[in-house]
Structure 1
Amino acid sequence: MNIYQQFNQLFNQPNRAVAQIIAKNGNGSYLARTTQAGNEVLLYGNGYSAGQTVYYDVGGGAILSVAPDLAVQDIGV
């Protein structure tokens, strides 16, 4: 692998955030509430249920994985 590919892998990571699923819609989407600001967002994925806390891609709304049900704190760098 060349250095350019390694560099791109560092910066092409999804911008991840945490939300709790409120409701499952019939079309593979979910209504969720962000844990940080309490905003409602529409997320996409399969196999999740209401009440679960998940990581999602802020740019596309895709659910990435289940998140632990813990307090989340954002720290600016």
Structure 2
Amino acid sequence: MATTNIWQQFKALIPEGERVVATITANNGNGTSQAKLRDGSVIAVKGESVGVGEKVFIEKGEIKGTAPSLAQYEVEV
């Protein structure tokens, strides 16, 4: 049965979890890679499908695909 709660319908449109953009710094050879986040921290993620130096989308600790290399701006309000 479909829900009539408009908030639940809205939430169903938004994917759960956080998507992070990072740069691959190393492929470990065991199904994992090292990725450098925008803040400079390095994390281990599942997947080796992307080469070193490329930007990726990471969801739930796993590489989901390549990300475009776009300029990054930081603005304080």
TM-score range, shorter chain: 0.7 to 0.9
SS at match of 1:30: strand
TM-score w.r.t. the length of structure 1 is 0.72
Q: Which has more radius of gyration?
A: 2
Unmatched segments (≥5 aa) in structure 2: none
1:22 to 2:19 alignment: no
**Matched pairs, number:** 72
Identity among equivalent positions (%) equals 33
SS at match of 1:9: helix
**Cα distance between partner residues in 2 of 1:73 and 1:10:** 28
Q: 2:49 aligned to 36, 47, 50, which one?
A: 47
> Over the residues paired in the alignment, what is the CA RMSD in angstroms?
2.3
TM-score w.r.t. the length of structure 2 is 0.72
Deviating runs (4+, > 3 A) in structure 1?
A: 1-8, 72-75
Q: CA deviation at 1:70?
A: 1.1
Unmatched segments (≥5 aa) in structure 1: none
Structure 2 contact 56–63 (Cα < 8 Å) conserved: yes
**Cα distance between partner residues in 2 of 1:9 and 1:25:** 36
The one-letter amino acid paired with 2:62 is A
